[in-house]
Amino acid sequence: MSPLPGVILAGGLATRMGGGDKGLLPLGRATILDHVIARLAPQAGALALNANGDPARFARFGLPVLPDPIAEFPGPLAGVLAGLDWAAGGGAETIVTVAADTPFFPRDLVARLHAVAEGMAHPLVLAASPRGDEETKSMSRGGQVRHPTFGLWPVALRDDLRAALGDGLRKVVLWTDRHDGREALFDDAEAFFNVNTPEDLARAQRRAGA
């Protein structure tokens, strides 16, 4: 099987960090985005970055930059749709997505998502981890919290997703549940730790240094 195209989702507004691109924040001797690319590249094929605004700020990474196809920052599903449209142009059937602000995600992410997708006509699988007390119930199912920016997505459903976004749908899990999406459970919830605040960045710096 050919490696899946990978799409790094960086289209958010980063309001809790005061705006800007969280992926471009320094982490160790590189940036968060450098760490994300280094983790995803061995697991995927061609890579692209979903981001809005001037793409020149990402020029040094040498990746296609895909803006949201829906205006007004409707959330990660718009980035997924951008990735699906891009992958369709290359003849791919499935993509994998990761978040640009989550530098320590599993190195076997794609393999384990694939394993759970076995037998699905249209692979649609989100990563999940055990739910802690701090996790919102809206994101959980069966004692698990789902990570909606980490998943496999079928190109065949991109027009359905486009229509859902046009109808105002914004919540990832409502759409994946509608299509009988599955979850791949990862025991290490810390692997999906993401940088949302200056305190989170300090924590990431400590982890990277360790």
* Residues 193 and 104 sit within 8 Å (Cβ to Cβ): yes
Average pLDDT over residues 79-104: 97
Q: Which residue is it, tokens 């859902």?
A: 164
- The whole-number pLDDT of residue 1 equals 64
Instruction: Name the β-bridge partners of 145.
Output: 129, 140
- The whole-number pLDDT of residue 17 equals 44
The model's pLDDT over 161-179, given as tens digits with 9 standing for 90+, comes to 999 999 999 999 999 999 9
The model's pLDDT over 41-60, given as tens digits with 9 standing for 90+, comes to 999 999 999 999 999 999 99
- The whole-number pLDDT of residue 183 equals 97
φ and ψ at 53, to 5 degrees?
85, -165
Average pLDDT over residues 2-31: 80
**Rounded Cα distance, 191 and 83, in Å:** 23
Question: What pLDDT band is residue 135 in, cutting at 50, 70 and 90?
Answer: very low
**Strand runs (DSSP E) across the chain, as ranges?**
6-9, 26-27, 30-31, 47-50, 65-66, 94-99, 125-130, 140-141, 144-154, 182-185
Domain edges within the chain: 6-209
**Rounded Cα distance, 64 and 51, in Å:** 10
**Rounded Cα distance, 35 and 47, in Å:** 14
Instruction: Pick the more confident residue, 153 or 71.
Output: 153
Global model pTM greater than 0.75: yes
**CATH code for residues 6-209:** 3.90.550.10
